[in-house]
Amino acid sequence: MDAPHDPVARRDALERWADQQKRRSRRPTLSTRVVERVIGRDRLIRTGIRVDRFADRVFDQGFDTASVVQLPLHSDDRVLYVPSRWHVLPRALRYLGVSDEDCFVDFGCGKGRVVHQAARWPFKRVIGVEVSSELAEEARALLKARSHQHRAREVEVVVSDVREYQVPDDLTIGYFFHPFGRETLDMLLGRIVESIDRRPRRVRLIYVLPDLSRWAILDTGRFRVVKQQSSVLRGGIDRVAIFESR
């Protein structure tokens, strides 16, 4: 299911979706059952929210979670900017593994939180693509101030509409936090597939809130789901799917 095009309606839909996930009856994992028995589910979720807020203050160092910015896209695919949770990317990268030959691209990087986190891993290149020049400048300033923490050889933020962005032929890991609607996503996925055809290689895509665009990725016929993750501390709301090229 794709999110509504209208920014306000999209935010409302995401909030309703999150509420549905909390209410949905599902069999928890063993680790979840054990923790719930000890401290209770409601307390578990409240604890997760406090942990996230604490991490935002201590670890994020300026990559603000509070900002909601309407992006200046002149299309029906415009969205609101809301940063990814701090724990999502490290967990996914621990599963994938990172080498000094990998190139990471965050499509819709905002203020650069995920770019900063990726840059702390030994990537060959880390790229953030952002349509808003205002957000991109803020991201560059924050990244420059923390460059001493980075292990990646190259880190950059590119100002571009992804409809016009030339996907690098060394991209191996892409990151999405539902940054745009189906039309734009289809165009970008087409360019990723073209890049793989030009230079055959394995490409993994990390997608947050995958239920909103899972079929767009699978419909290419070039990717399969290899991992699905959810945050125990947030009651399984922060769902992530990892896709791998065939």
Class of domain 69-245 as given by CATH: alpha beta
Helix, strand, coil shares of the chain, percent, nearest 5, are 40, 20, 40
Express each pLDDT in 229-241 by its tens digit: 875 544 445 689 9
pTM: 0.73
pLDDT-based confidence at residue 25 (cuts at 50, 70, 90): very low
Express each pLDDT in 75-110 by its tens digit: 556 556 677 888 899 999 999 999 999 999 999 999
Continuous H helices in 3-156: 7-23, 30-39, 41-58, 88-96, 113-119, 133-145
Q: Where are the domains of the chain?
A: 69-245
- Residue that has been written with the tokens 């990244």 in this structure: 143
Instruction: Write the CA distances from 134 to 7, 41, 109, integer angstroms.
Output: 19, 40, 12
